[in-house]
Amino acid sequence: MTKIDPPSRHVEGEELESFLKIWSESPSGNASVAAVVAALANAGIAIGALIAQGPLQGAMGAETGLANSDGDKQRKLDILAEAAVTSALKNSPTAYYASEEEDSMLTINDSGDVAVAVDPLDGSSNIDANITIGTIFSIFPASPAGATASFFRPGFEQLAAGYFVYGPHL
């Protein structure tokens, strides 16, 4: 397991990609984790742009008539956020993907070496209230035993986790 330590050469105002490159090349770094975090950040940028448009993008908080794996009613923005995340991860070293919006775990990249769990849009019931929502993610090493073994494991085996926060729309 790789412990994530911040790089010793962090420069104020440095972009995320530069930070991840420096970190992934450090003794404690992990190139796969860095690539997945960068991909998720790109998805977050796309989701943030949708949210910023607010009502100009249509009724983003409108229920679709579908439910996610937890039984919560899916909203238009839930589905768009899921699509942004899965699209971003297709070109990353993500072997397995688990999402609140999917009924089962997915295999994204057979040669990937990490497993990514995501709630693409946490707090989607708050969309129309114009308050903060976000994306939650967790990254684990992919298990040779498959998707289930990759996710159902102790939390101390987690490689990275994060939360992207999206502010109110315009």
What is the dihedral angle through the alpha carbons of 69, 73, 77, 82, rounded to the nearest 10 degrees?
10
Q: Flag whether 29 is in a domain.
A: yes
Q: Flag whether 11 is in a domain.
A: no
Between 77 and 99, the more confident residue is 99
> How many distinct structural domains can be found in the chain?
1
Q: Flag whether 120 is in a domain.
A: yes
> pLDDT tens-digit profile of 78-115?
888 999 999 999 999 999 999 988 889 999 999 999 99
Q: Flag whether 7 is in a domain.
A: no
Q: Flag whether 9 is in a domain.
A: no
Q: What is the pTM of this model?
A: 0.81
Q: 75 pairs with which residues across the strands? A: 63
Distance of alpha carbon 43 from alpha carbon 48, whole angstroms: 9
Q: Flag whether 127 is in a domain.
A: yes
Report CA 5 to chain centroid distance, whole Å.
Answer: 20
Angle at 40 between CA 35 and CA 41, to 5 degrees: 95
Domain that holds residue 141: 16-166
Q: What is the mean pLDDT of residues 104-130?
A: 88
* CATH code assigned at 51: 3.30.540.10
Contact assessment for residue 76 and residue 59, using Cβ atoms and an 8 Å cutoff: yes
Q: Flag whether 8 is in a domain.
A: no
Whole-number average pLDDT of the chain: 83
